[in-house]
Chains A and B, each alone.
Chain A
Amino acid sequence: MTKLSELASTIRSKNAGVNQITFDIIFPDAQSYRRVLASQAITKDAIAKLYRIPASRISDFVTFDVANAIKFTMYRLRPSGSPGDWDILGCQQYGPLLELEIPG
Protein backbone atom coordinates (compact mmCIF):
# COMPACT_ATOMS: atom_id res chain seq x y z
CA MET A 1 0.00 0.00 0.00
CA THR A 2 1.15 3.49 -0.87
CA LYS A 3 -0.41 6.77 0.20
CA LEU A 4 -1.89 8.89 -2.58
CA SER A 5 0.30 11.79 -1.44
CA GLU A 6 3.39 9.75 -2.43
CA LEU A 7 2.11 9.28 -5.99
CA ALA A 8 0.34 12.55 -6.91
CA SER A 9 2.17 15.83 -7.54
CA THR A 10 -0.87 18.07 -6.94
CA ILE A 11 -3.88 17.38 -4.73
CA ARG A 12 -6.22 20.34 -4.32
CA SER A 13 -9.81 21.46 -3.84
CA LYS A 14 -11.47 24.73 -4.77
CA ASN A 15 -14.89 26.27 -5.34
CA ALA A 16 -16.42 25.59 -8.74
CA GLY A 17 -19.16 28.17 -8.55
CA VAL A 18 -20.87 29.04 -5.28
CA ASN A 19 -22.48 25.69 -4.58
CA GLN A 20 -19.89 23.11 -5.63
CA ILE A 21 -16.34 22.17 -4.67
CA THR A 22 -14.08 20.56 -7.24
CA PHE A 23 -11.10 18.30 -6.45
CA ASP A 24 -8.06 17.81 -8.70
CA ILE A 25 -5.55 14.98 -8.30
CA ILE A 26 -2.68 15.42 -10.75
CA PHE A 27 0.09 12.86 -11.27
CA PRO A 28 3.64 13.56 -12.44
CA ASP A 29 3.50 10.96 -15.20
CA ALA A 30 1.15 8.64 -17.07
CA GLN A 31 2.54 5.61 -15.22
CA SER A 32 1.47 6.69 -11.73
CA TYR A 33 -1.82 8.06 -13.13
CA ARG A 34 -2.59 4.71 -14.81
CA ARG A 35 -1.57 2.81 -11.71
CA VAL A 36 -4.02 4.70 -9.52
CA LEU A 37 -6.82 4.39 -12.07
CA ALA A 38 -6.22 0.65 -12.36
CA SER A 39 -6.26 0.26 -8.58
CA GLN A 40 -9.92 1.42 -8.46
CA ALA A 41 -9.03 3.21 -5.21
CA ILE A 42 -10.38 6.48 -6.64
CA THR A 43 -13.81 6.04 -8.15
CA LYS A 44 -17.03 7.94 -7.62
CA ASP A 45 -18.13 5.35 -5.04
CA ALA A 46 -14.75 5.31 -3.27
CA ILE A 47 -14.84 9.10 -2.94
CA ALA A 48 -18.42 9.04 -1.67
CA LYS A 49 -17.35 6.49 0.96
CA LEU A 50 -14.25 8.45 2.00
CA TYR A 51 -16.25 11.66 2.49
CA ARG A 52 -19.25 9.81 3.96
CA ILE A 53 -21.75 11.18 1.42
CA PRO A 54 -24.21 9.60 -1.01
CA ALA A 55 -22.76 9.25 -4.52
CA SER A 56 -25.56 11.54 -5.74
CA ARG A 57 -23.77 14.46 -4.05
CA ILE A 58 -20.89 14.00 -6.51
CA SER A 59 -21.97 15.96 -9.59
CA ASP A 60 -19.07 15.06 -11.86
CA PHE A 61 -16.20 12.57 -11.94
CA VAL A 62 -13.80 12.64 -14.90
CA THR A 63 -10.38 11.39 -15.86
CA PHE A 64 -8.29 13.88 -17.83
CA ASP A 65 -5.53 12.04 -19.68
CA VAL A 66 -3.69 15.07 -21.10
CA ALA A 67 -3.01 16.32 -17.57
CA ASN A 68 -2.64 12.84 -15.98
CA ALA A 69 -5.41 13.94 -13.68
CA ILE A 70 -8.53 12.75 -11.91
CA LYS A 71 -11.16 15.37 -11.17
CA PHE A 72 -14.41 15.18 -9.24
CA THR A 73 -16.89 17.76 -8.03
CA MET A 74 -19.40 17.67 -5.19
CA TYR A 75 -22.32 19.81 -4.09
CA ARG A 76 -22.13 21.74 -0.86
CA LEU A 77 -24.97 21.40 1.65
CA ARG A 78 -25.35 25.21 1.63
CA PRO A 79 -23.70 27.71 -0.72
CA SER A 80 -20.18 28.92 0.02
CA GLY A 81 -19.92 31.55 2.75
CA SER A 82 -23.34 30.86 4.28
CA PRO A 83 -23.43 31.04 8.08
CA GLY A 84 -21.84 27.82 9.35
CA ASP A 85 -19.36 27.47 6.47
CA TRP A 86 -15.68 27.62 7.47
CA ASP A 87 -14.11 27.04 4.06
CA ILE A 88 -15.47 29.76 1.82
CA LEU A 89 -13.03 28.92 -0.99
CA GLY A 90 -13.40 25.17 -0.51
CA CYS A 91 -9.62 25.05 -0.64
CA GLN A 92 -8.97 22.76 2.38
CA GLN A 93 -11.44 20.01 1.58
CA TYR A 94 -8.79 17.86 -0.13
CA GLY A 95 -7.09 16.97 3.18
CA PRO A 96 -8.36 13.38 3.55
CA LEU A 97 -7.19 12.48 0.02
CA LEU A 98 -3.51 12.67 1.00
CA GLU A 99 -3.86 9.72 3.37
CA LEU A 100 -5.83 7.57 0.93
CA GLU A 101 -4.16 4.16 0.58
CA ILE A 102 -3.53 2.96 -2.98
CA PRO A 103 -3.10 -0.81 -3.24
CA GLY A 104 -0.36 -2.41 -5.37
Chain B
Amino acid sequence: MNSARTKDTLKVLISTGHLGTAPSNAESFHRGMDANPDYVVADGGSSDPGPVYLGEDTTLGHFVREELELFLTASRRKGIPLVIGSAGDTGSNRGVDEFVGIIRELAQEHGIPRFRIGYFYSEVPKDYLKRKLAAGKKLVGLGGFPDLTGDEIDNATRIVAVAGVDPFLKLLDMGADVIIAGRCGDINFTAGPCIHHGFPEALAYHMGKMIECASLVAEPFMGKETIIGTISRDDIRITPYHPQQRCTIASVAGHSMYERETPYYEHALGGTLDMRECHYEQFDERTVRITGAQWIPTSELRVKIEGAKKIGERYMGFVGLRDPHVVRNVDAAIDWVKSAVAKRFGHEPYELYFHVFGRDGVLKELEPVRETKAHELGIVVEGVAATDALAEKITDFAVRMFFLARIPGVKGTAGTAATTKKTMKSSPGYMWNVNHTVPIDDPMELFPVHMTEAGV
Protein backbone atom coordinates (compact mmCIF):
# COMPACT_ATOMS: atom_id res chain seq x y z
CA MET B 1 0.00 0.00 0.00
CA ASN B 2 1.13 3.50 -0.85
CA SER B 3 2.20 5.26 2.35
CA ALA B 4 0.39 8.45 1.24
CA ARG B 5 -2.80 6.49 1.65
CA THR B 6 -2.07 5.54 5.23
CA LYS B 7 -4.23 7.34 7.74
CA ASP B 8 -5.16 6.64 11.34
CA THR B 9 -8.78 7.45 10.61
CA LEU B 10 -10.84 8.19 7.52
CA LYS B 11 -13.90 10.44 7.63
CA VAL B 12 -16.65 9.92 5.07
CA LEU B 13 -19.41 12.53 4.72
CA ILE B 14 -22.88 11.71 3.36
CA SER B 15 -25.99 13.90 3.21
CA THR B 16 -28.57 11.88 1.32
CA GLY B 17 -29.82 8.33 1.07
CA HIS B 18 -30.93 8.86 -2.54
CA LEU B 19 -29.33 11.58 -4.59
CA GLY B 20 -31.65 13.85 -6.54
CA THR B 21 -35.04 13.03 -5.00
CA ALA B 22 -34.96 16.22 -2.88
CA PRO B 23 -32.13 18.68 -2.15
CA SER B 24 -29.74 17.95 0.72
CA ASN B 25 -29.95 20.50 3.51
CA ALA B 26 -26.98 22.79 2.76
CA GLU B 27 -26.63 23.99 6.37
CA SER B 28 -25.71 20.65 7.94
CA PHE B 29 -23.75 19.75 4.80
CA HIS B 30 -21.46 22.76 5.19
CA ARG B 31 -21.20 22.15 8.94
CA GLY B 32 -20.01 18.64 8.07
CA MET B 33 -17.57 19.96 5.46
CA ASP B 34 -16.10 22.26 8.14
CA ALA B 35 -15.14 19.08 10.03
CA ASN B 36 -12.73 18.24 7.17
CA PRO B 37 -13.96 14.89 5.86
CA ASP B 38 -11.69 12.80 3.60
CA TYR B 39 -14.46 11.79 1.19
CA VAL B 40 -17.93 12.93 0.16
CA VAL B 41 -20.16 10.06 -0.98
CA ALA B 42 -23.76 9.65 -2.11
CA ASP B 43 -26.02 6.94 -3.44
CA GLY B 44 -27.44 7.90 -6.83
CA GLY B 45 -29.93 5.10 -7.01
CA SER B 46 -31.84 2.12 -5.81
CA SER B 47 -34.22 -0.56 -7.00
CA ASP B 48 -36.77 0.88 -4.55
CA PRO B 49 -38.59 3.20 -6.98
CA GLY B 50 -39.68 0.17 -8.96
CA PRO B 51 -38.89 -1.39 -12.32
CA VAL B 52 -40.09 1.48 -14.56
CA TYR B 53 -36.86 3.50 -14.36
CA LEU B 54 -34.59 0.64 -15.40
CA GLY B 55 -37.12 -0.57 -17.97
CA GLU B 56 -37.57 2.87 -19.54
CA ASP B 57 -33.99 3.96 -18.77
CA THR B 58 -34.99 7.24 -17.13
CA THR B 59 -33.83 9.12 -14.04
CA LEU B 60 -36.29 9.65 -11.20
CA GLY B 61 -34.83 12.61 -9.29
CA HIS B 62 -35.54 16.24 -10.19
CA PHE B 63 -32.74 17.61 -7.99
CA VAL B 64 -29.77 15.65 -9.36
CA ARG B 65 -28.03 18.69 -10.75
CA GLU B 66 -28.54 20.77 -7.59
CA GLU B 67 -27.15 18.04 -5.36
CA LEU B 68 -24.18 17.25 -7.61
CA GLU B 69 -23.42 20.99 -7.72
CA LEU B 70 -23.34 21.20 -3.93
CA PHE B 71 -21.18 18.06 -3.60
CA LEU B 72 -18.80 18.84 -6.46
CA THR B 73 -18.06 22.46 -5.62
CA ALA B 74 -17.55 21.72 -1.91
CA SER B 75 -15.39 18.62 -2.44
CA ARG B 76 -13.22 20.23 -5.12
CA ARG B 77 -12.71 23.29 -2.89
CA LYS B 78 -11.29 20.95 -0.23
CA GLY B 79 -9.46 18.79 -2.77
CA ILE B 80 -11.16 15.60 -1.55
CA PRO B 81 -12.71 12.84 -3.68
CA LEU B 82 -16.43 12.63 -4.43
CA VAL B 83 -17.91 9.15 -4.94
CA ILE B 84 -21.41 8.64 -6.40
CA GLY B 85 -22.98 5.16 -6.53
CA SER B 86 -25.66 3.86 -8.94
CA ALA B 87 -25.78 6.89 -11.24
CA GLY B 88 -29.14 7.85 -12.71
CA ASP B 89 -31.10 5.71 -10.21
CA THR B 90 -30.56 2.44 -12.02
CA GLY B 91 -26.84 2.57 -12.82
CA SER B 92 -27.59 2.08 -16.52
CA ASN B 93 -24.93 3.21 -19.01
CA ARG B 94 -27.11 6.17 -19.90
CA GLY B 95 -27.36 7.12 -16.22
CA VAL B 96 -23.57 7.04 -15.86
CA ASP B 97 -23.08 9.14 -19.01
CA GLU B 98 -25.73 11.62 -17.83
CA PHE B 99 -24.03 12.09 -14.45
CA VAL B 100 -20.54 12.39 -16.01
CA GLY B 101 -21.98 15.02 -18.37
CA ILE B 102 -23.49 17.00 -15.48
CA ILE B 103 -20.17 16.91 -13.60
CA ARG B 104 -18.39 18.25 -16.72
CA GLU B 105 -20.91 21.08 -17.16
CA LEU B 106 -20.74 22.06 -13.50
CA ALA B 107 -16.91 22.06 -13.62
CA GLN B 108 -17.02 24.47 -16.57
CA GLU B 109 -19.69 26.70 -15.03
CA HIS B 110 -17.78 27.03 -11.77
CA GLY B 111 -14.33 27.25 -13.39
CA ILE B 112 -13.11 24.33 -11.29
CA PRO B 113 -9.41 23.51 -11.89
CA ARG B 114 -8.89 20.33 -13.94
CA PHE B 115 -9.62 17.07 -12.18
CA ARG B 116 -10.11 13.41 -13.08
CA ILE B 117 -13.48 11.67 -13.35
CA GLY B 118 -13.36 7.90 -13.07
CA TYR B 119 -16.51 6.02 -14.07
CA PHE B 120 -17.62 2.48 -14.71
CA TYR B 121 -20.51 0.82 -16.49
CA SER B 122 -22.53 -2.12 -15.25
CA GLU B 123 -24.99 -3.12 -17.96
CA VAL B 124 -24.83 -6.83 -18.73
CA PRO B 125 -25.03 -8.07 -22.35
CA LYS B 126 -27.77 -10.69 -22.74
CA ASP B 127 -25.36 -12.89 -24.72
CA TYR B 128 -23.03 -12.97 -21.73
CA LEU B 129 -25.80 -14.41 -19.52
CA LYS B 130 -26.90 -16.87 -22.18
CA ARG B 131 -23.32 -18.13 -22.51
CA LYS B 132 -23.34 -18.75 -18.75
CA LEU B 133 -26.57 -20.76 -19.10
CA ALA B 134 -25.13 -22.66 -22.06
CA ALA B 135 -22.07 -23.50 -19.96
CA GLY B 136 -24.39 -25.09 -17.41
CA LYS B 137 -24.12 -22.29 -14.83
CA LYS B 138 -27.16 -21.60 -12.67
CA LEU B 139 -28.46 -18.03 -12.47
CA VAL B 140 -29.94 -18.39 -9.01
CA GLY B 141 -33.07 -16.43 -8.06
CA LEU B 142 -33.04 -14.17 -5.00
CA GLY B 143 -35.99 -13.27 -2.76
CA GLY B 144 -38.20 -16.10 -3.98
CA PHE B 145 -37.51 -15.75 -7.75
CA PRO B 146 -37.13 -19.03 -9.67
CA ASP B 147 -33.78 -19.53 -11.46
CA LEU B 148 -33.36 -17.38 -14.56
CA THR B 149 -34.22 -18.80 -17.99
CA GLY B 150 -33.12 -17.71 -21.47
CA ASP B 151 -36.67 -16.51 -22.18
CA GLU B 152 -36.71 -14.18 -19.18
CA ILE B 153 -33.28 -12.82 -20.21
CA ASP B 154 -34.83 -11.99 -23.60
CA ASN B 155 -37.92 -10.47 -21.96
CA ALA B 156 -35.88 -7.95 -19.94
CA THR B 157 -35.44 -4.60 -21.65
CA ARG B 158 -32.18 -3.95 -19.79
CA ILE B 159 -30.07 -5.81 -17.20
CA VAL B 160 -27.50 -4.31 -14.83
CA ALA B 161 -25.04 -6.04 -12.52
CA VAL B 162 -24.50 -4.82 -8.97
CA ALA B 163 -20.82 -3.99 -8.45
CA GLY B 164 -18.80 -4.67 -5.33
CA VAL B 165 -15.87 -2.57 -4.15
CA ASP B 166 -13.49 -3.62 -6.92
CA PRO B 167 -14.20 -0.97 -9.58
CA PHE B 168 -13.99 1.70 -6.86
CA LEU B 169 -10.60 0.37 -5.73
CA LYS B 170 -9.39 0.33 -9.34
CA LEU B 171 -10.52 3.90 -10.05
CA LEU B 172 -9.04 5.22 -6.79
CA ASP B 173 -5.75 3.50 -7.70
CA MET B 174 -5.91 5.26 -11.07
CA GLY B 175 -6.19 8.58 -9.26
CA ALA B 176 -9.86 9.50 -9.75
CA ASP B 177 -10.98 12.71 -8.00
CA VAL B 178 -14.64 12.04 -8.77
CA ILE B 179 -16.15 8.58 -9.26
CA ILE B 180 -19.45 8.05 -11.07
CA ALA B 181 -20.49 4.44 -10.62
CA GLY B 182 -22.85 2.23 -12.52
CA ARG B 183 -25.12 0.04 -10.43
CA CYS B 184 -23.44 -0.92 -7.17
CA GLY B 185 -24.41 -2.16 -3.74
CA ASP B 186 -25.25 0.72 -1.42
CA ILE B 187 -22.47 -0.21 1.02
CA ASN B 188 -19.70 -0.31 -1.59
CA PHE B 189 -19.21 3.35 -2.51
CA THR B 190 -18.19 3.86 1.14
CA ALA B 191 -16.45 0.52 1.71
CA GLY B 192 -14.31 1.06 -1.42
CA PRO B 193 -12.54 4.21 -0.18
CA CYS B 194 -12.10 2.69 3.32
CA ILE B 195 -10.49 -0.47 1.91
CA HIS B 196 -8.41 1.63 -0.51
CA HIS B 197 -6.84 3.30 2.53
CA GLY B 198 -6.11 -0.05 4.17
CA PHE B 199 -8.85 -0.20 6.78
CA PRO B 200 -10.18 -3.65 7.73
CA GLU B 201 -12.80 -5.00 5.33
CA ALA B 202 -15.28 -5.87 8.10
CA LEU B 203 -15.30 -2.29 9.43
CA ALA B 204 -15.26 -0.82 5.91
CA TYR B 205 -18.36 -2.74 4.79
CA HIS B 206 -20.09 -2.14 8.09
CA MET B 207 -19.49 1.61 7.84
CA GLY B 208 -20.91 1.50 4.32
CA LYS B 209 -24.03 -0.12 5.66
CA MET B 210 -24.43 2.22 8.62
CA ILE B 211 -24.10 5.52 6.72
CA GLU B 212 -25.80 4.78 3.38
CA CYS B 213 -29.05 6.49 4.37
CA ALA B 214 -27.31 9.54 5.91
CA SER B 215 -29.34 11.12 8.75
CA LEU B 216 -31.84 8.25 9.00
CA VAL B 217 -29.28 6.61 11.33
CA ALA B 218 -29.74 9.42 13.88
CA GLU B 219 -32.70 10.67 15.91
CA PRO B 220 -35.12 12.33 15.75
CA PHE B 221 -36.20 11.28 12.25
CA MET B 222 -34.87 13.74 9.63
CA GLY B 223 -34.07 13.09 5.98
CA LYS B 224 -31.38 14.71 3.82
CA GLU B 225 -29.18 15.90 6.69
CA THR B 226 -25.44 15.32 6.86
CA ILE B 227 -23.64 12.73 8.93
CA ILE B 228 -19.98 11.67 9.03
CA GLY B 229 -18.76 8.10 9.50
CA THR B 230 -15.23 7.78 10.87
CA ILE B 231 -13.33 4.52 10.47
CA SER B 232 -10.18 3.51 12.35
CA ARG B 233 -8.33 0.15 12.59
CA ASP B 234 -10.55 -0.80 15.55
CA ASP B 235 -13.95 0.82 15.23
CA ILE B 236 -16.39 3.01 13.34
CA ARG B 237 -18.07 6.11 14.72
CA ILE B 238 -21.19 7.80 13.39
CA THR B 239 -21.85 11.51 14.05
CA PRO B 240 -24.76 13.66 12.78
CA TYR B 241 -24.24 17.30 11.82
CA HIS B 242 -27.75 18.67 12.18
CA PRO B 243 -27.60 20.41 15.57
CA GLN B 244 -30.88 18.82 16.72
CA GLN B 245 -29.88 15.27 15.79
CA ARG B 246 -27.87 12.74 17.75
CA CYS B 247 -26.83 9.15 17.24
CA THR B 248 -27.87 6.88 20.08
CA ILE B 249 -27.35 3.17 20.59
CA ALA B 250 -31.06 2.76 19.90
CA SER B 251 -31.02 4.82 16.69
CA VAL B 252 -27.89 3.18 15.28
CA ALA B 253 -28.73 -0.41 16.28
CA GLY B 254 -32.26 0.22 15.02
CA HIS B 255 -30.95 1.49 11.69
CA SER B 256 -28.70 -1.54 11.24
CA MET B 257 -31.84 -3.58 10.50
CA TYR B 258 -33.40 -1.03 8.11
CA GLU B 259 -34.57 -2.32 4.72
CA ARG B 260 -32.73 -5.65 5.15
CA GLU B 261 -34.25 -9.06 5.62
CA THR B 262 -32.02 -9.73 8.63
CA PRO B 263 -30.03 -7.52 11.01
CA TYR B 264 -27.30 -10.15 11.33
CA TYR B 265 -25.91 -10.61 7.81
CA GLU B 266 -25.25 -8.46 4.76
CA HIS B 267 -24.18 -10.09 1.51
CA ALA B 268 -21.78 -8.28 -0.81
CA LEU B 269 -19.86 -9.36 -3.87
CA GLY B 270 -17.03 -11.51 -2.49
CA GLY B 271 -18.27 -12.11 1.01
CA THR B 272 -20.75 -11.74 3.82
CA LEU B 273 -20.70 -9.20 6.63
CA ASP B 274 -21.51 -10.98 9.89
CA MET B 275 -22.94 -8.53 12.45
CA ARG B 276 -24.03 -11.01 15.11
CA GLU B 277 -21.30 -9.91 17.54
CA CYS B 278 -21.55 -6.16 16.95
CA HIS B 279 -21.25 -3.91 19.93
CA TYR B 280 -22.63 -0.37 20.13
CA GLU B 281 -21.60 2.24 22.69
CA GLN B 282 -22.29 5.93 23.23
CA PHE B 283 -18.93 7.58 22.37
CA ASP B 284 -19.95 11.15 23.10
CA GLU B 285 -23.26 12.96 23.36
CA ARG B 286 -23.93 12.74 19.61
CA THR B 287 -21.68 9.91 18.43
CA VAL B 288 -22.04 6.13 18.58
CA ARG B 289 -19.04 3.80 18.35
CA ILE B 290 -19.50 0.39 16.71
CA THR B 291 -17.17 -2.61 16.84
CA GLY B 292 -17.31 -6.34 16.27
CA ALA B 293 -18.40 -6.95 12.65
CA GLN B 294 -16.73 -9.87 10.87
CA TRP B 295 -16.08 -10.26 7.13
CA ILE B 296 -16.37 -13.78 5.78
CA PRO B 297 -15.03 -14.08 2.21
CA THR B 298 -16.92 -16.49 -0.07
CA SER B 299 -15.30 -19.19 -2.15
CA GLU B 300 -17.52 -18.61 -5.20
CA LEU B 301 -17.92 -15.10 -6.64
CA ARG B 302 -21.57 -14.44 -7.54
CA VAL B 303 -22.72 -11.02 -8.72
CA LYS B 304 -26.32 -9.85 -8.39
CA ILE B 305 -28.13 -8.84 -11.57
CA GLU B 306 -31.32 -6.78 -11.95
CA GLY B 307 -33.66 -6.47 -14.90
CA ALA B 308 -37.16 -5.37 -15.78
CA LYS B 309 -39.58 -6.48 -18.49
CA LYS B 310 -42.35 -4.46 -20.06
CA ILE B 311 -45.94 -5.56 -19.44
CA GLY B 312 -47.52 -2.89 -21.60
CA GLU B 313 -48.76 0.68 -21.86
CA ARG B 314 -50.70 1.94 -18.86
CA TYR B 315 -53.61 4.30 -18.10
CA MET B 316 -55.35 5.16 -14.84
CA GLY B 317 -58.82 6.50 -14.09
CA PHE B 318 -60.46 7.59 -10.85
CA VAL B 319 -63.92 6.72 -9.62
CA GLY B 320 -65.74 8.00 -6.50
CA LEU B 321 -68.53 6.10 -4.76
CA ARG B 322 -70.92 7.80 -2.30
CA ASP B 323 -74.15 5.79 -2.49
CA PRO B 324 -74.04 3.78 0.78
CA HIS B 325 -75.55 0.78 -0.96
CA VAL B 326 -72.84 0.84 -3.67
CA VAL B 327 -70.14 1.39 -1.03
CA ARG B 328 -71.37 -1.71 0.82
CA ASN B 329 -71.49 -3.67 -2.43
CA VAL B 330 -68.27 -2.42 -3.95
CA ASP B 331 -67.13 -5.98 -4.73
CA ALA B 332 -70.30 -6.57 -6.72
CA ALA B 333 -69.66 -3.31 -8.61
CA ILE B 334 -66.08 -4.38 -9.39
CA ASP B 335 -67.27 -7.82 -10.53
CA TRP B 336 -69.78 -6.17 -12.83
CA VAL B 337 -67.05 -3.96 -14.33
CA LYS B 338 -64.64 -6.89 -14.71
CA SER B 339 -67.19 -9.01 -16.55
CA ALA B 340 -68.21 -6.11 -18.79
CA VAL B 341 -64.55 -5.57 -19.76
CA ALA B 342 -64.00 -9.30 -20.25
CA LYS B 343 -67.04 -9.52 -22.51
CA ARG B 344 -65.80 -6.70 -24.73
CA PHE B 345 -62.01 -7.16 -24.60
CA GLY B 346 -61.60 -10.80 -23.52
CA HIS B 347 -59.89 -11.70 -26.79
CA GLU B 348 -57.02 -9.28 -26.05
CA PRO B 349 -54.35 -9.73 -23.36
CA TYR B 350 -54.73 -7.00 -20.73
CA GLU B 351 -54.29 -6.45 -16.99
CA LEU B 352 -56.85 -4.52 -14.99
CA TYR B 353 -56.56 -3.55 -11.32
CA PHE B 354 -58.95 -1.83 -8.91
CA HIS B 355 -57.32 0.04 -6.02
CA VAL B 356 -60.13 0.59 -3.51
CA PHE B 357 -58.97 3.45 -1.31
CA GLY B 358 -61.06 3.63 1.84
CA ARG B 359 -60.93 -0.16 2.14
CA ASP B 360 -57.78 -1.98 1.02
CA GLY B 361 -56.14 0.24 -1.60
CA VAL B 362 -52.80 0.23 0.20
CA LEU B 363 -52.60 -3.26 1.74
CA LYS B 364 -54.70 -5.26 -0.74
CA GLU B 365 -54.88 -8.93 0.34
CA LEU B 366 -52.88 -8.14 3.52
CA GLU B 367 -55.56 -5.75 4.89
CA PRO B 368 -57.16 -7.17 8.05
CA VAL B 369 -60.02 -4.61 7.99
CA ARG B 370 -62.49 -6.15 5.55
CA GLU B 371 -65.59 -4.08 6.41
CA THR B 372 -64.95 -0.46 5.54
CA LYS B 373 -66.37 2.19 7.85
CA ALA B 374 -65.91 4.85 5.16
CA HIS B 375 -68.95 6.69 3.84
CA GLU B 376 -67.30 7.08 0.46
CA LEU B 377 -64.69 5.14 -1.51
CA GLY B 378 -62.17 6.16 -4.15
CA ILE B 379 -61.19 3.59 -6.73
CA VAL B 380 -58.21 3.93 -9.03
CA VAL B 381 -58.67 1.81 -12.11
CA GLU B 382 -55.31 0.75 -13.55
CA GLY B 383 -55.28 -0.79 -17.01
CA VAL B 384 -52.32 -2.22 -18.92
CA ALA B 385 -52.38 -3.45 -22.52
CA ALA B 386 -50.06 -3.89 -25.48
CA THR B 387 -50.73 -0.55 -27.18
CA ASP B 388 -51.37 2.94 -25.91
CA ALA B 389 -54.75 3.11 -27.66
CA LEU B 390 -55.94 -0.21 -26.25
CA ALA B 391 -54.75 0.56 -22.70
CA GLU B 392 -56.65 3.86 -22.80
CA LYS B 393 -59.75 2.28 -24.29
CA ILE B 394 -59.92 -0.56 -21.75
CA THR B 395 -59.19 1.67 -18.74
CA ASP B 396 -61.70 4.30 -19.84
CA PHE B 397 -64.31 1.64 -20.54
CA ALA B 398 -63.79 0.18 -17.04
CA VAL B 399 -64.29 3.64 -15.49
CA ARG B 400 -67.52 4.17 -17.50
CA MET B 401 -68.79 0.76 -16.44
CA PHE B 402 -68.68 1.85 -12.78
CA PHE B 403 -71.06 4.59 -13.78
CA LEU B 404 -73.36 1.99 -15.33
CA ALA B 405 -72.83 -0.79 -12.76
CA ARG B 406 -75.98 -2.85 -12.28
CA ILE B 407 -76.22 -3.64 -8.59
CA PRO B 408 -79.56 -5.02 -7.30
CA GLY B 409 -81.32 -2.59 -4.97
CA VAL B 410 -79.68 0.63 -6.16
CA LYS B 411 -82.05 3.60 -5.80
CA GLY B 412 -80.02 6.04 -7.88
CA THR B 413 -80.77 5.59 -11.55
CA ALA B 414 -78.67 8.40 -13.04
CA GLY B 415 -75.23 6.83 -12.46
CA THR B 416 -73.64 4.69 -9.74
CA ALA B 417 -70.24 6.39 -9.66
CA ALA B 418 -68.84 9.93 -9.68
CA THR B 419 -66.19 10.43 -12.34
CA THR B 420 -64.17 13.37 -13.47
CA LYS B 421 -61.21 14.11 -15.70
CA LYS B 422 -59.97 12.23 -18.67
CA THR B 423 -58.49 8.79 -18.04
CA MET B 424 -54.83 9.59 -17.45
CA LYS B 425 -51.76 8.20 -19.14
CA SER B 426 -49.29 6.73 -16.66
CA SER B 427 -45.81 5.28 -17.13
CA PRO B 428 -45.77 1.97 -18.98
CA GLY B 429 -46.17 -1.04 -16.72
CA TYR B 430 -42.95 -2.94 -16.00
CA MET B 431 -42.14 -5.83 -13.72
CA TRP B 432 -38.87 -6.91 -12.12
CA ASN B 433 -38.06 -10.19 -13.84
CA VAL B 434 -34.32 -10.43 -13.14
CA ASN B 435 -33.32 -10.55 -9.47
CA HIS B 436 -30.66 -13.21 -9.59
CA THR B 437 -26.98 -13.97 -9.10
CA VAL B 438 -24.54 -15.07 -11.76
CA PRO B 439 -21.18 -16.75 -11.09
CA ILE B 440 -18.18 -14.74 -12.29
CA ASP B 441 -14.44 -15.39 -12.40
CA ASP B 442 -13.18 -11.86 -11.93
CA PRO B 443 -15.01 -9.22 -9.82
CA MET B 444 -14.20 -6.66 -12.55
CA GLU B 445 -15.46 -8.63 -15.55
CA LEU B 446 -18.83 -6.86 -15.82
CA PHE B 447 -17.62 -3.40 -14.82
CA PRO B 448 -15.35 -1.71 -17.40
CA VAL B 449 -13.66 1.37 -15.90
CA HIS B 450 -12.86 4.61 -17.72
CA MET B 451 -11.07 7.84 -16.86
CA THR B 452 -11.67 11.30 -18.27
CA GLU B 453 -10.91 14.88 -17.28
CA ALA B 454 -13.10 17.89 -16.56
CA GLY B 455 -12.65 21.47 -15.40
CA VAL B 456 -10.55 24.36 -16.68
Contacts and interface: CB of A to CB of B under 8 A. Distances in A.
Partners in one complex: yes
A39 interface: no
A53 B366 contact: yes
Interface stretch (B30-38, B197-205, B355-363): B355-363
Contact of B362 (A22, A80, A87): A87
A64 B176 CA distance: 40
B263 A62 contact: yes
Contacts of A77: 365
A81 B306 CA distance: 14
Given A66-B253, A77-B365, A24 B258 contact: yes
B51 A82 contact: yes
Contact of A95 (B50, B261, B351, B363): B363
Contacts of B380: 86
A88 B46 CA distance: 12
Contacts of A60: 261-262
Interface stretch (B5-13, B138-146, B336-344): B138-146
A83 B314 contact: yes
A67 interface: yes
Contacts of B145: 19
Interface string B230-264: 00000000000000000001100110111111111
B311 interface: yes
A73 to B, nearest CB: 5
Given A50-B368, A69-B254, A81 B52 contact: yes
B355 A86 contact: yes
Interface string B339-354: 0000000000001010
Nearest to B368: A96
B361 A86 contact: yes
Contacts, number: 142
Contact of A78 (B278, B368, B431): B431
B51 A81 contact: yes
A67 B256 contact: yes
B143 A18 contact: yes
Contact of B364 (A26, A83, A86, A95): A86
Contacts of B256: 67
B243 to A, nearest CB: 22
B382 A84 contact: yes
Contacts of A82: 51, 311, 429-432
A9 B51 CA distance: 33
A14 B382 contact: no
B144 A71 contact: no
Given A14-B258, A17-B143, A86-B355, A79 B51 contact: yes
Given A26-B250, A62-B262, A92-B362, A67 B143 contact: no
A52 to B, nearest CB: 6
Given A51-B368, A87-B362, A93-B363, A10 B254 contact: yes
B434 to A, nearest CB: 10
A43 B142 CA distance: 25
Range of interface residues on chain B? 35 or more
A53 B365 CA distance: 8
A53 to B, nearest CB: 7
Nearest to A60: B261
Nearest to B431: A82
B366 A93 contact: yes
B93 interface: no
A72 to B, nearest CB: 9
Interface in B279-326: 280, 306, 311, 314
B143 A22 contact: no
B441 interface: no
A59 interface: yes
Contact of B143 (A14, A19, A50): A19
A75 B143 contact: yes
A15 B431 CA distance: 15
A62 B264 contact: yes
A14 B257 contact: no
A59 B144 CA distance: 9
Contacts of B445: none
A79 B435 contact: yes
Interface in A20-77: 20, 22, 24, 26, 28, 50-53, 59-60, 62, 64, 66-69, 71, 73, 75, 77
A99 to B, nearest CB: 9
A89 interface: yes
B250 A81 contact: no
B394 to A, nearest CB: 12
5 contacts: A17-B143, A19-B435, A64-B257, A81-B431, A86-B364
A-B residue pairs, 8 tightest by C-beta: A81-B50, A19-B143, A67-B253, A79-B432, A83-B429, A84-B353, A82-B431, A17-B143
Given A16-B259, A66-B249, A81-B52, 4 more contacts: A50-B368, A51-B366, A69-B254, A71-B257
